[in-house]
Structure 1
Amino acid sequence: MITRSMKGRLFIVLAVATGIIWLFASAWIFFQTRSEVEHVLDTRLQEAARMVSSLAINGDAVPSRTSRSDVQTLPETASYERQLSCQIWSLDGRLVARSSGAPNESLGNEADGFSDQQVGRETWRVYAISDSAKGIRVLVGDRLGLRERLVTDLIKGLLWPAMLIVPLLGLLIWMVLGRGLRPLQLMAADLKNRSVDDMTPLDVTRTPPELAPLVNSLNFLFSKLETARRHEREITAFAAHELRTPLAGLKTQAQVAIASQDAEVRTRALRLIVISVDRTSRLVRQLLAIARIDAQDGVRRTDDVNLGQILDEIISTDPPSGSANVVLSLALYDLGFATNRDLLSLALRNLHENAIQHIKHNGTVKWDAVRVGSSITISVDDDGPGIPDSELPLVTSRFFRGRHKSPYGSGLGLSIVQLAADKLGAKLALKNRSDENGLRVTLSLSTL
């Protein structure tokens, strides 16, 4: 079974790679050493032949001796030369002299130079040199069997230490891998010993550069988890606080309606119950919307939308309170593009509800849109009190309720719009109207 251990897999890869390199190196050493040794041995044959030829020319051996019994035995000079066999022949084919280890048969009848000769049952490597002036031919050779043993022994002497080093090299690789992977083990131990609530970032400064991307990704994940948990705690605490009041009011008004004999009092209590239920329903819907947006990782822009149709649906399902006037520009019905319909509808619904809550009595909410190049800007104007300039950067924060807060609001509407805009890649902007009282909110989206 293939190991899943990173250390084991790295060790196998490095060990196999080292083994392959060692095999190639051994093969190279074998052939290179063999070639060099054979060249050295051939050079030795050549030098020995020239030396013997020189001695013979100087008179130590002459071709005047004709009988087999008169064949001279050449002296041996050193143990290094004992592997060599030497013969001196006259040019007319008579053996003049030979070394003690040389055979009586000729080592070769080939031309001068190197040749491989079969003498009896043995193969010889022979070098021949002739001197026509003295009438002699010198043959120097060594047995290929001895030469092969010499080469083999030499190569074994080189490779055996390398073979003994291989296990030590494997142990060294294992130890180095263990030390190299130590930061991962320390990181794993740190994460294992953490409590569930500990989202402290890992220390990047003490991390090897190779692990920095992993550590940064983990820290980014911790940050997202911490943000999600914080939002979850905020939503839970806010829901517990905000739902307590309307639920208590519902109970009180229900008790009043049950206990009262006055029809007008009962009607008023029931009307207040309806208002409380509406506010509670809106609060729950907004909390669920925030949870749904937070859970989305990305947005697929696959829906063809029409702004006028979306706003018609919003107004029909959530009609304005009182005598508020809602004006939709005709340009809204002419603009169609591709985006995420659910998120866009959620953003527009909360913008509409926010405007309705803050307009004055018999006030007006105006919707408009304009396309500029590849961008569409949606705007909504109300004639309410506006927002103090100091609070404009804060109103998109969760649960923020400013100076002109509505009794029916929860501080979540604009934060939902901001979340949806971020998911859509849109830009949300708020500013007080300069021509008259009220607030203008714009939502700019790219159609690319």
Structure 2
Amino acid sequence: MKNSLIIAIVTRVTVVMTLTWLLGCALALLVMQDEMGEAFDSGLQQTAHRILPLAVDYLFEHGDGPAPHRMPVTNSVPNDEFVAYQIRDAKGAVLVQSFEAGIGAFSAPLKPGFFEDDKFRYYTETTISDSLFIQVAEPVAHRHEALRESISAIIAPLVVLIPLSIIGIWWSVRRGLRPVTLLQEDIRNRGSGNMMPIDRPELPDELHPIVIAVNNLLARLKSALTAERNFAANSAHELRTPIAAALAQTQRLRAEMPAQDANTARAEHIETSLHRLKRLSEKLLQLSRAEAGVAVVGDLQDLSPALLLVIEDFSRDPRYIHRIAVDFTGHDTLLGKIDIDAFAICLRNVIENALIHSNDDDPVRIWASGGTEAIPASIHVANQSPVVPPRILAKLTERFERNNPSSKGSGLGLAIVDTIMQQAGGKLVLLSPAHNRDSGFEAVLQLPGDDNSAA
């Protein structure tokens, strides 16, 4: 997921959205701070205008007493008032003050207008004769507290909105990229066994050029592969008859030769070469069938008849009659999602590979394993041989690759098996040394599908 397109889009959209919200909040707070300052200043002015006439009347009626005077209040006035006021004369003496004003004069000068120090914001208003001044004070901390509460009210919802937005963006992006996922699955399902063009008219217009380009590529690949397969199949098929005729003539020639004829060795060599050429043509035919996708089926197949038939064919051969060791105890029925003929080709090739690459007296062991819901059914074919180096073992499924170049094999058998198993959804596993052995070679045919079973 390091280079996930979904993560990249969600991250970028979330970052841009969050920065936009924060910028909007910052601008809103600046405007709010300015508007709140104007509202608080207007409140100070209105307070001064309302209190001044009352304070002057009270001063004229009770001016004979000691200053400063405190105007009486009703019990309904709360004790946590934030505004305090003082009435001062031209010399700065405090004549009347509120209960919240303290005992000293305010630090604001006796000039009409606003003034602010570290603790208070003041508003000063004068009478017509400039003989009396009213000063109304409000704590600066009160304004700061109101601004902090406003900031919290704006920022706090973002703590919830941002995660919810990430979830919403993630869901929307996944839904929006669903057509890309469908196209990806279609392309992944294309291969040598499936060259059908992609047909998804419901895809967005932006993806249609990709679909057209992929379909054109598939058409060219299909044409090239078809030509290659037809050439291999036709060549092998056309060679079978002349090879068989030449082999028959050679065998007849050998039979008619005198026992001590000097050309007997040459005839034997020709016969051996013709046998190898015959096997090669058969492998080419099998390879062309494998690449044509014959292994793919939709339902489970009973593979037991093909299994028994192939083993019986090898057991009847005089060269191998005593070398085949079979153990299918507990596996009377073998099921797998693979064409039965394709399975027979695979089994014949792995058994032939084991017989060719082991000594003439060494047994070839064949057994089954798995076949449950948790473990798919597998066919094991093992033979005695030196340990194959890992570097060579990894390349044995390639065409014309052999552990020993001088061996009798064509180098195509395991490549054919690997191609068929991949097309069917199974797997060919090569082990050397063989399982629970210090040496040897083992080929495992893991049958495809989750519903494989062997009973």
TM-score range, shorter chain: 0.3 to 0.5
Relative to the length of structure 2, the TM-score reads: 0.47
Q: Which has the larger radius of gyration?
A: 1
Relative to the length of structure 1, the TM-score reads: 0.48
